[in-house]
Copies of this chain bind each other. A is one copy, B any other.
């Protein structure tokens, strides 16, 4: 056991010492490793078009329309079915995407650098609310907004980040946890802090006043603006802890809307996959659990890094969104200490007398206690084109962890 403990100590040290910094914005095709014009990245473990859920198919269609590889939904569907488009998990390209998580070559992405380990991670720019690509919508409004993000928002943020000399995401997340965020589904504080930090630089980029106003309104109206850079910060953190032989620390949890997959530091690039569960939560007016798609998105990288449901005690106001009471929010964090190896002092929770967030899921602890990780999540409609219909709570399927434990036993020759 000592070899595993040593490996885990090394992994945890890399997690706790990470210093993710938002350093810029680039075009996915230019900056994301291995990105190509005929490639679409998606959330979760590997999946092909034929097994993709409705919202992920919708987002694929939208991305092909956005890239002008197709002019109609039918053309896009035909192209996706044809085999001429390749699909790869974001996670295979140092990237993460919320919900469907589709990334195409022309899309702008945030660049987050872990200044401790030197690795980088990437995520698209958050689209805001309502009908959005990440929930599988692809109508003209969605495409127009993606065009504005590419044409106006991304270059403006890129220049502002340059003038700002980057944004220290670890400090920003730490502050946001003292302001009622948990970093996954409640990001009002972090988004306001990011807006406040970048605004003085943004107005010095030479952007026309009307466009500067549009960009600042994007931040004023979008409490999820910071989610995507937070996700990339978590990815840059957890990638640094990946591939340490013998380590039983989970370095990724991700869902493609059909399957849930996890990766473990000491088990290389294998995914341990089982059918995704459907979240339980609160639905927007007119929708119910029958409309819900199974669990979707790479945003569980936040829980993997000790945020989201793991930090829910910091964010009692989130229960109005995902269901439950303030006590449930406390219980969520407290339970996660049972299956994690460390407390992240950099991410402290005032209501728990500044105890650090539970960090570093150990597959051995999950197996021993029977406690599965908790996840806060948005809920997508199961049909392409509809969008978000609610938010709630979910856990990974147990099978992912059972397989990982067996694989680890095999790897250790037991």
Does A350 touch B at the CB level, under 8 Å? Answer: yes
A201 to B213, CA, bound (A): 7
Residue from the list B175, B178, B204, B320 in contact with A210, Cβ < 8 A: B204
Interface hit among A69-77, A192-200, A264-272, A282-290: A192-200
What residues on B are CB-neighbors of A353 within 8 Å?
325-327
Interface hit among A15-23, A97-105, A216-224, A253-261: A216-224
Contact A217–B200 (Cβ < 8 Å): yes
A325 to B317, CA, bound (A): 20
A243 to B197, CA, bound (A): 44
Does A188 touch B at the CB level, under 8 Å? Answer: yes
Does A319 touch B at the CB level, under 8 Å? Answer: yes
A325 to B327, CA, bound (A): 19
What residues on B are CB-neighbors of A47 within 8 Å?
none
Interface positions, chain A 185-241, Cβ under 8 Å from B, are 188-189, 191-193, 195-197, 199-204, 206, 209-210, 212-214, 216-217, 219-220
Contact A197–B179 (Cβ < 8 Å): no
What residues on B are CB-neighbors of A325 within 8 Å?
353
Contact A316–B201 (Cβ < 8 Å): no
* A 158-201 binary contact with B (CB < 8 Å = 1; else 0): 00000000000000000100111100000011011101110111
Residue from the list B196, B204, B213, B319 in contact with A204, Cβ < 8 A: B213
A317 to B175, CA, bound (A): 10
Does A371 touch B at the CB level, under 8 Å? Answer: no
- List the B residue with the shortest CB-CB distance to A190: B192
What residues on B are CB-neighbors of A206 within 8 Å?
209
Does A351 touch B at the CB level, under 8 Å? Answer: yes
Contact A317–B195 (Cβ < 8 Å): no
Contact B203–A212 (Cβ < 8 Å): yes
Contact B204–A220 (Cβ < 8 Å): no
What residues on B are CB-neighbors of A326 within 8 Å?
350-354
* A 346-374 binary contact with B (CB < 8 Å = 1; else 0): 00001111100000000000000000000
Residue from the list B180, B210, B327 in contact with A179, Cβ < 8 A: B180
A180 to B193, CA, bound (A): 13
Given contacts A326-B353, A351-B351, contact A216 B203 (CB under 8 A): yes
What residues on B are CB-neighbors of A214 within 8 Å?
200
User: Which 9 pairs between the two chains have the least Cβ-Cβ distance?
Assistant: A316-B350, A192-B192, A178-B317, A200-B217, A200-B216, A199-B216, A317-B350, A179-B180, A203-B212
Given contacts A195-B196, A329-B350, 19 further A-B contacts (CB under 8 A): A179-B179, A179-B181, A179-B188, A179-B189, A180-B350, A189-B189, A192-B196, A196-B196, A196-B219, A196-B220, A199-B216, A200-B214, A203-B203, A206-B209, A317-B350, A326-B350, A326-B351, A326-B352, A326-B354
